[in-house]
Amino acid sequence: DTEVTQTPKHLVMGMTNKKSLKCEQHMGHRAMYWYKQKAKKPPELMFVYSYEKLSINESVPSRFSPECPNSSLLNLHLHALQPEDSALYLCASSQADRVSQPQHFGDGTRLSIL
Amino acid sequence: AQTVTQSQPEMSVQEAETVTLSCTYDTSENNYYLFWYKQPPSRQMILVIRQEAYKQQNATENRFSVNFQKAAKSFSLKISDSQLGDTAMYFCAFMKHGSGGGADGLTFGKGTHLIIQP
C-alpha cells in the first residue's frame, strides 16, 4: 500500500468543468510535489510546496491551481483544461529539511479531458 | 539546467541473469542526488536506490547496485539475479540541492523498459 494517497484514481472531465485532485500523506513530510506524466514519457515537475508554501512553479498554465491547506494535504484545482492536459498526475512527498531523502509517490490520478 | 539521458529504450533478459541499465547526466551543480525509480504497469513510482554525489562509495540495496562515476557523470544500475517482478519501466532521476537547502523537484530520464523473460 502506498503511503501517499491520491484521489480520485480516474477522472474524466469536459473542457468547461472545474474539478480538483487530492493528495494526502501522513508521514510528517513538509515537502509535496505535483508531476505530470504523459503516456510513455517520464514525469515532469509542475509544482513544489515546502512548509505549505509554493516554492517552485515550473511555468505551469494558470488553468492548474495548486493549494496546500495543511502539511498533510495537497490539492490541484483544474479549470478550463485542454485535451493535451490528459495525463497521469502524480503527487509525491519528502522531508523538506533532508533533501537527500527520496520522494515517495502516490499511485496517481489518470485524467482524461473530453 | 540539468539533463538526464537513458540511451536504452528497452532491454530484455532471462530470469536470473544480470542486467545493467545506463544513465548519464549533465549538470553544473556540485551538490546533487541521483536516484533510480521503477514504475510497473500499476503506475506507482517506487524508489530502487539512491546515491549522494558527495559519497564515493557506490550504493547497494540487496540485488540492486549502482556504478557511480562522478567525473564521467555516469550512474548505471545493475540488477543481479533478475526476477519476473523486476519487469517495469526504470527511470534515472537527478535532484539538485535546493536553493536555501530546501526541497527541489526530480529531473527524470526518458526511461528504460526492462522485460524479464521466464
Contact between chains at B103 and A55 (C-beta distance less than 8 A): yes
**Three cell numbers at B41?**
504497469
**What pLDDT band is residue A2 in, cutting at 50, 70 and 90?**
low
Contact between chains at A97 and B42 (C-beta distance less than 8 A): no
| CB of B80 closer than 8 Å to CB of B24 | no
**Three cell numbers at A11?**
477522472
Instruction: Give the pLDDT score at A76.
Output: 98
Q: Which of the pair, B42 or B48, is modelled with greater confidence?
A: B48
- How far is B53 from B60, CA to CA, in rounded Å? 14
- How far is B11 from A104, CA to CA, in rounded Å? 26
Instruction: From B69, B89, B85, B65, select the one nearest B77 (Cα to Cα).
Output: B65
Over residues A55-114, the pLDDT tens digits come to 999 999 999 999 999 999 999 999 999 999 999 999 999 988 776 788 999 999 999 999
Please, what is the average pLDDT of chain B?
93
Q: Which of A37-41, B27-31, B62-66, B77-81 has the lowest mean pLDDT?
A: B27-31
Contact between chains at B102 and A45 (C-beta distance less than 8 A): no
Instruction: Give the pLDDT score at B103.
Output: 74
**B33 contacts on A by Cβ (under 8 Å):** 99-100
